A and B are shown apart, each in its own frame.
Chain A
Amino acid sequence: MKSQIPVVLLACGSFNPITNMHLRLFEVARDHLHQTGIYQVIQGIISPVSDHYRKKDLVASHHRVAMARLALQTSDWIRVDPWESEQAQWMETVKVLRHHHQELLRSSPPMEAQNAGKAPTAPAAVPELKLLCGADILKTFHTPNLWKDVHIREIVEKFGLVCVSRAGHDPKEYILDLPILRQYQHNIYLAQEPVQNEISATYIRRALSQGQSVKYLLPDAVIAYIKHHRLYTMDSSWKDRSSQRSKGNTS
C-alpha cells in the first residue's frame, strides 16, 4: 500500500464563539480525506481572526482563543493557534496559510512511522496544508473585491481547499462558475455533512444576549467561560463596539 500523504487542516474565521458546528467541520473533512485513501489527516488548526478584522460584535481575541482552547481540550488532533490573532493588523487568509506552511516545513520530523518498512531512507513527506471551510466561503470568492485574484489562485493551486457543505447542497456550481476554481478543481475537496447542523455563531450570540440556553450547541466548558466572563450579554456588545473604535493594541 502506498504511504499516504499527511495533511494538516487549517480553519480561519471569527470563532465568535466557537461552536459544535465548527468542530464538526474538522471531523467531516477528516473522514472525507481518509475515504479517498490518499490522505492521512494528522492535525487540525483553528486560527481565530485578529480583532483588527473589525467585524461587528467580535469579542476580544484572547477570549476567542481561550474558548477555542477549552473546546479542543478533549480533541487529540485539533489545536488552536493564536498567531494570526496576535498580529498587529488583519492578515489575508493566504498569508496565514503561508505562515503555517513555513512552520510545518520548519518542524518536520526526520523520520515518520508511516514510512517505516516501506521506503528505506526516504524523508517523511512534509504535510500538505489545506484550507478548511464551509461551502459558503466558495461563494464569497465570487464577491468582487473581497479576495485578491492572486490569492485565490495561490490558495487553490499551492495549498488546496476542503469544503464542507450540507447534504443536498451542491457547491460544484460555485467552482465551475469561476475560472480560477475550475482550473484547480482537482485540488478542491467537497465533503458533505449529512447531518444538518447550522449552528451559526450569530444565533448563539443572540440567544446568549437574550438569556436563552445554548447548551449542547457548544461545549460545556465554552459556555461556562462565556458566563464567567459575561461575554455576549446585551450590554457587552456595546462595550466591544466602543473599545474597537478607540483602537489600541489587542487586549
Chain B
Amino acid sequence: MDKSEKTDVVLLACGSFNPITNMHLRLFELARDFMNGTGKYRVIKGIISPVGDAYKKKGLIPAHHRIIMAELATKNSNWVEVDTWESLQKEWVETAKVLRHHQEKLEASNCDHQQNSPVLERSGRKRKWTEQRQNSSQKKSLEATPKGVPKVKLLCGADLLESFGVPNLWKSEDITQIVADYGLICITRAGSDAQKFIYESDVLWKHQSNIYLVNEWITNDISSTKIRRALRRGQSIRYLVPDLVQEYIEKHNLYSSESEDRNAGIVLAPLQRNTAEAKP
C-alpha cells in the first residue's frame, strides 16, 4: 500500500509570534504542499510553539496573549494547532529541546496505540488488534522505534537558518542535532542566500539532505515587527493578520511604545546562557 511507504511528518514552528501574522500561517501551507508534493512525506499536523516570556526579547508581550492570538489565528485550520508547553516553562527552552519534547510525545502516544496493555481502550476493534500483536513475532516488540512514528521537523524562514551564524545564539551541538536528527524545512524568498549559507556551513552541508528549501514566490513580508510598528502609528493591520487576531489586539490594546520597551537593555536568554556557559 502506497500510504505506508510515506513518512508522516509534523511541522513544528518555534518563534515569538508577537503577534502571529498571515505570513506565519502561510509557512505551514507552503511547507505542507511541498512535503506532500515530494511523494515521500505526508504532513499530518502543524504545531505553533510560541516562546516563553523568559526569552526576554525586546517588545515581547506576555505569553498568554500570544497564545490566545495564535489560537484565534488557527481556529479555522483543521491541521495547525498551538502548543503551550514551551511557553509554560519557567526558563527559556532551547529549540532542540522543544523538538525533542514533541518527538518524544509523538513516540509515546504511538507506543500507547501499539501496546496490548489492558489498561487501554477496550473497544472491540482494539482488542482484535492486540490479539494480532500477541501473535506477531518476537522481532516486532524488539524494534527500537515503533513503526510509523511521525517525524517532527522544524519549520522556519530563512532568517532562522541564517541566525545559526549569530555568535552564542545557538549551541553548535543543538544545530547539529536539529539538522541531523530532525530536519529543517525552510521557506525562503526567491533569490535569498539560504543556499549559500548552507554551502558555507560544514554541518549544514553535511546534512543538506535533511534541509528542505521551499521557495516562496509571493513576497509576503508581513513581519511582526512591521505589524507592531503599524499599530504604534495607528495604521491598519487588516488583511495582514487574521481578523480575529486584529480584533483581539485592538480590544486589549496590546502593542504600544510601552510594550515595545519591555525587556529593553536585557540580554536575550540564549545569549545570556551560552555566554555564561562558555566562561571558563
Question: Which positions in A face B, CB cutoff 8 Å?
Answer: 20-21, 23-24, 27-28, 30-31, 74-75, 194-200, 203, 212-217, 220
A–B Cβ pairs within 8 angstroms, 12 of them: A28-B236, A194-B230, A195-B221, A195-B222, A195-B223, A196-B220, A196-B221, A197-B220, A198-B218, A199-B220, A216-B25, A217-B220
B33 touching A195, Cβ below 8 Å: no
The chain B residue sitting closest to A206, CB to CB, is B217
Residue in A200, A216, A220 whose beta carbon sits within 8 Å of that of B26 in the complex: A216
Q: Are B30 and A213 in contact (CB under 8 A)?
A: yes
Is the CB–CB distance between A203 and B220 below 8 Å?
A: no
User: B56 on the interface (CB 8 Å rule)?
Assistant: no
A215→B76 CA distance, assembly (Å): 10
Residues of B with C-beta under 8 A to A200: 218
Q: Is the CB of A199 within 8 A of B236?
A: no
| B268 interfacial contact with A, CB 8 Å | no
Q: A194-B226, A203-B217, A212-B33 are in contact. Are A27 and B238 (CB under 8 A)?
A: yes
CB pair B218–A213 under 8 Å, yes or no, is: no
Minimum Cβ distance to chain A for residue B77 (Å): 8
Taking the closest CB of chain A, its distance from the CB of B32, in whole angstroms, is 7
Interface residues of B in 18-52 (CB under 8 A from A): 22-23, 25-26, 29-30, 32-33
Q: Given A200-B218, A217-B218, A195 and B240 touching (CB < 8 A)? A: yes
Does B193 lie at the interface of the complex (its beta carbon under 8 Å from any beta carbon of A)?
A: no
When C-beta atoms are compared, the residue in chain A nearest to B235 turns out to be A31
Per a CB cutoff under 8 Å, which of B218, B226, B238 touches A23? B238
User: CA A217 – CA B22 in complex, angstroms?
Assistant: 8
Mask for B86-120, Cβ within 8 A of A = 1, else 0? 00000000000000000000000000000000000
